[in-house]
Amino acid sequence: MNDYSGLLLSDNFQKNLDLFKEIFKKDDMLRVRIANLGDSNKKLAFLFFDGMVNGSLVDESLIRSCVTAVNVPENADIVYLSNRVLYSAELAKTKKVSDILASILNGDTAVIFENSCEALTVNTKGWRTRGIEEPTDERVLQGPREGFDEAAILNLAMIRRKLQTPDLCIESAKLGRRTKTAIYYVYLESLVNRKCLREIKKRIETIDIDGILDSNYISEFVRDSKHSLFKTIGSTERPDIIAARLLEGRIAIVVDGTPVVITVPYLFSENFQSDEDYYLNYMVASVGRALRYICFFLSISIPAIFIALTTFHIQLLPTAFMLTVSELRSGVPFPSIIECLSLVLIFEILKETGLRNPQSLGAALSIVGGLVVGQTAVEARIMSAPMLIAVSLSEVTGLMTPRLKGAVFYMRILLAIASSLMGLYGYMIVVSLFAVSVLDIKSVGIDYTSSLKNPSFQRMKDTFFRTSWRSMIKRPDFNHNIIRNRRKYEN
């Protein structure tokens, strides 16, 4: 509303109406309802957008209340209207045209009164929402089945239902020159890391963009190590996960218009945590957690190690296995690295095709495509069976860590290329470079691998394994905030 930031209403009723009609002259969704205030001759107008408001609320609480008002005094003004006539839990007076525009564009109704240079904005939001459903990509076998909606207000209510404490803080802001998207900082006052809170606010306030349509817009602007393969901003569609993050002292950022809520700081160990780890027995959850670490290592390493052993270090293989591999590779026209990269690319195409098509068709296409392509390529001697097995196993193990999908893809390719050039030496060099780069990453000023440094039982209690709730008595190391008024919130 920058064009109208300094414009104020006048005391001319018709002039005010003409102003808004001129602003929205090419928008047929604007509704203007003119009526008299009860049994008086004083005119008022209701301005709202069709589809953005709760129709029954506008009809009953606003228009009906004003039209049926009785004994209206001759000196009735905007104060009388707000105190004696309108029935609403949330209304505000304003003289600024920009404030009125922002309100009606957000689903409120503006009430313009005759001979008054002030107007009322009344909360009448009532757009349709998708409803509470379990997030498709975060399904659990055991635990809550609810997920966030596109409406930020409903999402905040779901978080507050999980954390029924006055310690919960929700601060609002607007982003986007044109969209004016509402965002909300959510945190627990006594647990939040103050330095981290100041830093994330500072970064978000510097964002200058036409519109914010999804939380990823913010993630790309504020993340550390912008060219790193690893994500440094967390995201989820589950209110129970957000509540758990807030209880650890993290900060959630809710963006209106998207069900995806982002959290900071985000640690490397969170890539291996599953949503239902905390709803299963800790011994069962620990097995799953350990398997994810192992599968991550296998998914990036199997093709590279296979290429290194069969190309440079074949003497390290058992004789029988070496002869079998040599026999199966005979007649294949391409070197191992070309085979590997081609298969990785084919598998990625099949996965993306399966995701972009309807669920039933996508699953069938992925299975049939994989079988047909793999079997035909091996029989035609275009690719060897051992390489197909190695890449297939790498792809399957990579499914265990969906949060590292992008990192696994690039690391698998880089390690394979390095191994094809220098064997196991190239593999170890690239792995070392990756390890050093991860140790250097930060998330909103917090060490990305803080949970892995100076290992102890308390630091490892929710990293490589999950201990029982009796043992989880300390919050993460990144949160060194001194809890003030602690007793107040413990009762």
Q: What would the pLDDT profile of 36-64 be if each residue is shown by its tens digit?
A: 888 788 888 999 988 888 888 888 888 88
The pLDDT of residue 490: 47
Between CA 219 and CA 253 the distance in angstroms is 10
Tell me the one-letter amino acid at 425.
Y
Structure tokens at 88: 């609403």
Cα–Cα distances in angstroms (integers) from residue 182 to residues 61, 196, 371, 381, in the given order: 26, 21, 48, 58
User: Which of 134-143, 400-409, 458-467 holds the top average pLDDT?
Assistant: 400-409
Least confident of 14-23, 293-302, 325-334: 325-334
The pLDDT of residue 446: 83
- Please report, rounded to a whole number, the percentage of residues in the chain having pLDDT higher than 70: 89
Q: What is the per-residue pLDDT across 211-257, written as a single tens digit (0 to 9) for each?
A: 899 899 999 898 888 888 888 898 998 998 999 889 888 999 999 88
**Residue ranges of domains in the chain:** 2-122, 136-267, 282-440
Identify the helix (H) or strand (E) that includes residue 295.
Answer: helix 282-311
User: Which of 34-48, 117-131, 354-368 holds the top average pLDDT?
Assistant: 34-48
The pLDDT of residue 464: 79
* Single pTM value for the model: 0.79
Does 265 sit behind a cis peptide bond, omega within 30 degrees of 0 on the bond before it?
A: yes
Distance of CA 355 to the CA centre of its chain: 19
The pLDDT of residue 70: 81
Between CA 393 and CA 304 the distance in angstroms is 12
Q: Of 130, 125, 154, which Cα lies nearest the Cα of 57?
A: 125
Q: What is the per-residue pLDDT across 414-430, written as a single tens digit (0 to 9) for each?
A: 999 999 999 899 999 99
